[in-house]
Structure 1
Amino acid sequence: MSSTTKSISLREAQKIVLLSQKLPTQKVATDAKNVTLSAIEHLGYIQIDTISVIERAHHHTLYNRNSSYNSDHLQTLVSDKKVFEYWAHAASFLPMADYRFSLPRKHAIASGKQKHWFKRDEKLMNAVLERIKFEGPLMAKDFDKKGVKHGEWKTAPTKQALENLFMQGDLMITKRVNFHKVYDLTERVLPSTINTKTPTEEEHGEFLIKKYLRANGVGKLTEMTYLLKNMKPLVSKALEQLLLSGDIIKIHVADHEYYILPESLELLNTPLTRKKLNILSPFDNLLIQRKRTSEIFNFEYLLECYVPQQKRKFGYFTLPILWGGKLVARMDSKADRKEKILDIHQLTLEPSLKKTEAFAEALNKELKLFLKFNKCTSVRLHKTIPASFQHYFEQSYPELFV
């Protein structure tokens, strides 16, 4: 280890990461919608997911950053042209202020340097583009021919054309109707004041690094380029330049070497709220890189909805629970919206969790808010591990349970 390389403890690294992620949730006194926008701008992206076992991931992630979050915020911010949909490591909501940094990917797809998963049909793409040009915003179903079936796992050719046009930047999404995308010409969606100058490779690399480190505290090259095709050489070069300039530094945490912004070390002087509990989405920015979650929080996590039922250990849609600066439990849940009951199929405590009474009190407090967020009024608890916790929890807080 170099004598000039700073070393911090794993506990200190966890604190920096959580504060950088705006966790645990802080109460806000300012306009709630602006707090949501600020969270998106700080985190850099909010992943969109279609699973609606509980409230969808993009709402869930923002709920954990804004105590006054409302699910209408996202659509309003899209309508106000403060946020737009595109691709980060996955489909996401992105800050409009960062629009120009989506251009390198769009240009690469348009030129054929980067492949999209749908086959390109230039003639059909042009026809789709012309219809939107003259008719205005349209959804994929507006192109469907009645009676034509494409098969359970097939995507209609016009939908493929729309997505290719979207990914290469000719179209943007103006809103969603019942979660269906509404497409329009990019020139009609973009604010007139937005910077549309394509960044240089140096600018792009620096942006990716600084954006990642502000949102995540510490990071490695592999983490900064997670699922970003062909970006490692560009980001690696930018890292060298930023190290030379002192804009970033290296630190050691246990057996791992990370990059960090020097000012992020000042977060060690900021108190971390340890009483507040957060029930997290599987797609939360804190958790999305599972290897990183394991290394920093010693928490092995797998979303088991993609695992055959007989092989599941924790449940179909397990939500990690953050408390006391640690990931201490997992809750397999489903919102029964008709009965307004949140089913907790299995609540599993980590073996390291010792203060179960204080944990139960914190979970009870958060569950009351989580129920409201999911439009439920009570909890149906099926199973806990250890089993002894179920009776204790239900008896301690009977007002929550049916």
Structure 2
Amino acid sequence: MLTFTFLSKLILHGYMSLKKESLSLREAQKLVLLSQRLPTPKVVGSAQDATLSSIEHLGYVQIDTISVIERAHHHTLYNRNSRYKSAHLEELIADKKVFEYWAHAASYLPMTDYRFTLPRKQAIASGKQKHWYKRDTKLMQSVAERIKTEGPLMAKDFDKKGKKHGEWKTAPTKQALENLFMEGELMISKRVNFHKVYDLTERVLPSSLNTTTPTDDEYGKFLVKKYLRANGLGKLTEMTYLIKNTKPLVSHALENMLADGEIAQIHVGDNMYYILPESYELLNKPLTRKKLNILSPFDNLLIQRKRTSEIFGFDYLLECYVPQHKRIHGYFTLPILWDGKLVARMDSKVDRKKKVLHIHQLTLEPSLRNTETFADAFNKELQLFMEFNNCISVLLHRTVPSSFRFESESRFPHLVIQ
């Protein structure tokens, strides 16, 4: 009987029949985009199922509080599912198919991956991994007891007049809730006006869910496979990005998986990456280059800025954290993907009362050449993006370079140029 390792090596040999030891930058970009499901792929089944499939494939979708346009988690999913609705997340949480926890940041994760959050939770609970709030064990017990007795509660249900203190300027009970959440005693059962509603973990989890703690080998291999499926190519530092205490586990998993033929190594220029053998198939698939995507700053494709620079030659800084007088591109710039490249960035804000999408500045990359075709693709997506943000018109204030123009109002009837 053939062993798994031997079969893996046979499969790897099949995928490597072209003896590719390196990829061109263009091939690497294509592989990454198709792995990220960008541009927006055609989806089958219900719209909600497509949303769940996107979360399961990506592994996480980052949550962010900035709301100058539609929030980041909705924006990221909109770019993977053309039929996406913001209600999908609420429904998937209610159906216990998605939950909130920490990836590299606060995120929505697929419930099927729940057990792989346990190593972090146990490390925090045992004190092996630090959390940003100090533990007040007595207060944590009191808070947990109230939720056990009264049912799901929000932070505002505790100490409405309590003083905020500490470097985080949060109420003690809020800190207790977050500690219990990070340690795994509590989960977020839903959100109300974006406020977290906390409940006991056992009341949130599906009864049939596997809640066994993975071994170190299982956890390391999980992190490798999850990253490579969603991103196509990856380095050790990328797979462990902001995930504390995982580098030794992932490094060990990479060594074993490479020896067993479960992964391969590939060079892109001077950089060496790991790749799943089956990912080579993506190089034979077409990449839709006509479709344009306006991306969130927190999109999974972009979240590691060094990687984005190395693979796409796109240096990106979210300038909302930069003093106004030092900003170059604007407060909340959205990278624009077209023709398989990151070709522009758009500083945007929604006026929700007037339902106007303001583009304060649209900046084209110097490498962008075919601006007329780009303008057509941009206009087509802009209409959809406007609807996604519940707007009825778009006001463009400035373009860089200033010579870039939308020449015909009849071609762009919804776009008002100042």
Q: TM range, normalised to the smaller chain?
A: over 0.9
Match of residue 239 from structure 1:
254
- How far residue 9 of structure 1 moved from its aligned partner, in angstroms, is 0.6
One-letter amino acid matched to 1:283 = F
Say if 2:163 and 2:171, in contact at 8 Å, map to a contact too.
no
1:154-185 Cα deviation digits (max 9, x unpaired)? 10000000000000000000000000000000
1:31-84 Cα deviation digits (max 9, x unpaired)? 000000000000000000000010000000000000000000001100000000
Match of residue 248 from structure 1:
263
Greater alpha carbon shift after TM alignment, 390-399 vs 321-330: 390-399
2:169 equivalent among 150, 154, 159: 154
2:160 equivalent among 140, 145, 151: 145
Change (3 A) 1:187 1:397: same
- How far residue 388 of structure 1 moved from its aligned partner, in angstroms, is 1.5
Match of residue 318 from structure 2:
303
Say if 2:63 and 2:73, in contact at 8 Å, map to a contact too.
yes
Identity across the alignment (%) = 76
1:225 equivalent among 240, 249, 253: 240
2:378 equivalent among 352, 363, 371: 363
TM-score (norm 1): 0.97
Match of residue 349 from structure 1:
364
Match of residue 93 from structure 2:
78
Rounded to whole Å, the distance in 2 between the matches of 1:293 and 1:83 is: 28
Change (3 A) 1:225 1:40: same
Say if 1:46 and 1:61, in contact at 8 Å, map to a contact too.
yes
Rounded to whole Å, the distance in 1 between the matches of 2:280 and 2:339 is: 20
1:300-345 Cα deviation digits (max 9, x unpaired)? 0000000011111100000000000000000000011111100000
Match of residue 204 from structure 2:
189
Match of residue 78 from structure 2:
63
1:237-291 Cα deviation digits (max 9, x unpaired)? 0100000000000000011100000110110000000000000000000000000
Q: Point out where structure 2 has 5 or more consecutive residues left out of the alignment.
A: 1-18
Match of residue 94 from structure 1:
109
Say if 1:5 and 1:252, in contact at 8 Å, map to a contact too.
no
Rounded to whole Å, the distance in 2 between the matches of 1:387 and 1:361 is: 18
Rounded to whole Å, the distance in 2 between the matches of 1:151 and 1:200 is: 36
Q: Helix, strand or coil for the counterpart of 2:414?
A: helix
Match of residue 331 from structure 1:
346
Greater alpha carbon shift after TM alignment, 392-401 vs 249-258: 392-401
Equivalence map 1:158-173=2 (5 Å): 158-173=173-188
One-letter amino acid matched to 2:309 = S
One-letter amino acid matched to 1:281 = S
Q: Helix, strand or coil for the counterpart of 2:80?
A: coil
Rounded to whole Å, the distance in 1 between the matches of 2:391 and 2:200 is: 39
Match of residue 14 from structure 2:
none
Rounded to whole Å, the distance in 1 between the matches of 2:138 and 2:132 is: 18
Match of residue 48 from structure 1:
63
Change (3 A) 1:352 1:374: same
Match of residue 126 from structure 1:
141
Q: CA RMSD in A?
A: 1.6
Say if 1:305 and 1:316, in contact at 8 Å, map to a contact too.
yes
- How far residue 233 of structure 1 moved from its aligned partner, in angstroms, is 0.8
- How far residue 148 of structure 1 moved from its aligned partner, in angstroms, is 4.6
Match of residue 412 from structure 2:
397
Say if 2:25 and 2:311, in contact at 8 Å, map to a contact too.
yes
Q: Helix, strand or coil for the counterpart of 2:224?
A: helix
Say if 1:360 and 1:393, in contact at 8 Å, map to a contact too.
no
Rounded to whole Å, the distance in 2 between the matches of 1:288 and 1:47 is: 9
Q: Helix, strand or coil for the counterpart of 1:85?
A: strand
Report whether the alignment pairs 1:205 with 2:220: yes
Say if 1:10 and 1:253, in contact at 8 Å, map to a contact too.
yes
Rounded to whole Å, the distance in 2 between the matches of 1:89 and 1:151 is: 24
Q: Helix, strand or coil for the counterpart of 1:14?
A: helix
Say if 2:164 and 2:172, in contact at 8 Å, map to a contact too.
no
- How far residue 29 of structure 1 moved from its aligned partner, in angstroms, is 3.7
Rounded to whole Å, the distance in 2 between the matches of 1:372 and 1:399 is: 11
Match of residue 303 from structure 2:
288
- How far residue 401 of structure 1 moved from its aligned partner, in angstroms, is 2.2
1:131-171 Cα deviation digits (max 9, x unpaired)? 00000000000002337565995100000000000000000
Change (3 A) 1:148 1:16: same
Rounded to whole Å, the distance in 1 between the matches of 2:379 and 2:363 is: 15
Q: Helix, strand or coil for the counterpart of 2:141?
A: helix
Rounded to whole Å, the distance in 1 between the matches of 2:278 and 2:121 is: 33
Moved over 6 A (4+): none
Q: Point out where structure 1 has 5 or more consecutive residues left out of the alignment.
A: none
One-letter amino acid matched to 2:41 = Q
Rounded to whole Å, the distance in 2 between the matches of 1:273 and 1:377 is: 28
